[in-house]
Chain A
Amino acid sequence: MSRQSNRAGDPRKVNGELFTLTYGALVAQLVKDYESDEEVNKQLEKMGYNMGIRLIEDFLARSNVGRCHDFRETADVISKAGFKMYLGIIPVVSNWSPAGDEFSLLIENNPLTEFVELPANHSSLNYSSILCGVLKGCLEMVQMDVDVKVVQDQLKGDSITELRLKFIKRLEDALPAGED
């Protein structure tokens, strides 16, 4: 085999199924390690948060988006640039609240849940909680305090997966931990 064929494929991409299964292995392990589904959800969110605060740097460096001027623009960037870049999907932005501080991301083909069947005794497990954490972490790093929840889940029989984002407040001059 020549060197060339060894470098085949896009070096910036990995197999989506490897990603899906790796995430599956993580959830399976957490389910074993923790007592309740709620604790697993919490742990997944925490890990997502850790990923989010690092992911945002990668995102800002690789995409050409500047500062968003309002929450609507943020929603667009999240779905059309963020999700597209990292998961290869573009969720639909919808269900705006009248005040413009809440919206939903509708995900049809969630790469995280491919191959997944939720056992009946884990009905309160939010399999995709990690996404909530990632979004929260990312947005916090651009001074936005946002609440993210899974409100519909395909694994629980809903026709679509829906994440609800609610803008809480703008964070002012937050110093990074340990630099005060």
Chain B
Amino acid sequence: MSGGKQRISNLEKPLGKGKPEVNIASFALLFSEIVQYCQNRVYTVPELQNKLSEFGYHIGSHILDLLYLREKGYKREIKLLNMLLFVKSNLWKTLFGKEADKLEHANDDERTYYIIEKEPLVNRFISVPKDKGSLNCAAFTAGILEAILIGANFPAKVTVHWHKGTTFMIKFDESVIVRDKMVEGK
């Protein structure tokens, strides 16, 4: 802040409209470096997925306010279903240029929801080695998702699975369900 130079902080600049785009190759190569970096520091597939999800978490926690400001006119979601729809459409569109393929509710557990994506962006460039069959780099996206939900005060655990493409399993905290029933007046 000193040194006599005139300093315009990035924080003081107006927020852009949010339509900058970069070449998919730039992102793919960067993401691949991240995957390799993580892989060099872990021993197992679950550890690798955790690492990737931490990266995603960092992104999610930074993009949440941005989304609320731009897309929602400063309003936050308070209902669970609306929040999930917000994730499925707004978040997905902003990040990946399209809505998520499917949103489903588990039949047997009211705390569990699924977002299903046939071909996640981050998996498009990754060929999974045979000895690491369960590896799904979409753990990165799961991290983004989890940060968004927790940041919006819907504490949840998001995990990633190979099922009908890639499935993000969202398991909400019991308190979220209780509160939602109250909000909905049931």
Contacts and interface: CB of A to CB of B under 8 A. Distances in A.
A177 B160 CA distance: 37
B22 A8 contact: no
B30 A19 contact: yes
A168 interface: no
Nearest to A25: B58
Contact of B10 (A6, A51, A117): A117
B62 A6 contact: no
A113 interface: yes
Interface string A153-164: 011011100000
B45 interface: no
B59 A111 contact: no
A5 B101 CA distance: 11
Residue in A15, A88, A154, A157 whose Cβ sees the most chain B Cβ within 10 Å: A15
Residue in B18, B26, B55 whose Cβ sees the most chain A Cβ within 10 Å: B26
Interface string B1-35: 10101110111000010111111111101111110
B102 to A, nearest CB: 10
30 contacts: A5-B99, A8-B97, A12-B23, A13-B22, A13-B23, A14-B97, A16-B22, A17-B18, A17-B20, A18-B96, A19-B27, A21-B63, A24-B62, A25-B34, A25-B55, A26-B30, A26-B37, A29-B58, A47-B37, A50-B36, A51-B29, A51-B33, A87-B22, A87-B26, A88-B20, A111-B20, A113-B10, A120-B1, A157-B5, A159-B6
Contacts of B20: 15-17, 88, 111, 114
Contacts of B32: 51
Interface residues of A, number: 47
B50 interface: no
Given A47-B37, A157-B7, A16 B21 contact: yes
B78 to A, nearest CB: 25
Nearest to B9: A117
Given A10-B21, A21-B63, A28-B58, A15 B97 contact: yes
